[in-house]
Amino acid sequence: MDEAGAIACPSPNHGPRRDGGRPVLVVLHYTAMQSEAAALERLCSPAHEVSAHYLVGRTGRLYQLVPEAERAWHAGAGRWRGIADVNSNSIGIELDNSGNTPFSEPLMARLELLLSNILRRWAIGPRGVIGHQDMAPTRKADPGRRFDWRRLARAGLADWPAPAPARAPDPGRFLADAAAYGYDAESGLGPVLAAVRARFRPWAEGPLSAADMAVVAGLALDRAPPRA
């Protein structure tokens, strides 16, 4: 399937989805590179053996590198909701951002349109949109603290925790609730806490808190997208 308006920039770094896999997740990344051109070169280089289905430039330009039906090489080792081969069960989107600056408005607007179309095509719900750090918390930190997850949630394109009562910090309960949502508890408290905070409490620091407990408890509850 092709995305209307996307610039074709085929990457050789892809293959068939394994074991009957189909997209049930969308994984968001940042490129951590200084330019769109540098990211394209890396994602299309056979030597680097990495790719994604799409790259969204900071100007809003959209590139399609791998057909959605194919398995792009973007996620690597990790796990989400028990899925170990995330590449075979996801669509990967690279965002043109160094990780140290806010994501541009043209990029975010184009991403919203792209996500809306992907979720419709593959019948993926908002909970299926995750960050690279969510599924690989011991290895990755993208799309990072500067990415506006709440904006996507307001548009119905990502999940957000429902209000939940604060509980006393309890590492075991925290990991159990996080695992019930999709995180890999075997990654350990530190990496999972960092991933949860990067997405839902981006400037929180320090040890596990009652507010962190409330976030993972709220993720287990169904709710409508948050209002502005």
Number of H helices, E strands in the chain: 7, 8
What phi and psi values does residue 146 have, to the nearest 5 degrees?
A: -90, -5
- Crossing angle for the helix pair 210-218 and 171-181, nearest 10 degrees? 30
Q: How many CB atoms lie within 10 A of CB 207?
A: 9
- Give me the catalytic one of 41, 94, 105, 112: 94
Beta bridge partners of 28: 93, 131
Q: Please state, in angstroms and rounded to a whole number, the distance separating the CA atoms of residues 65 and 82.
A: 27
Q: Please state, in angstroms and rounded to a whole number, the distance separating the CA atoms of residues 68 and 123.
A: 13
DSSP 6: P
Q: Please state, in angstroms and rounded to a whole number, the distance separating the CA atoms of residues 6 and 1.
A: 11
Q: Would you call 105 a catalytic residue per the annotation?
A: no
Q: Please state, in angstroms and rounded to a whole number, the distance separating the CA atoms of residues 94 and 64.
A: 10
SS3 222: coil
Beta bridge partners of 129: 26
Active site residues: 94
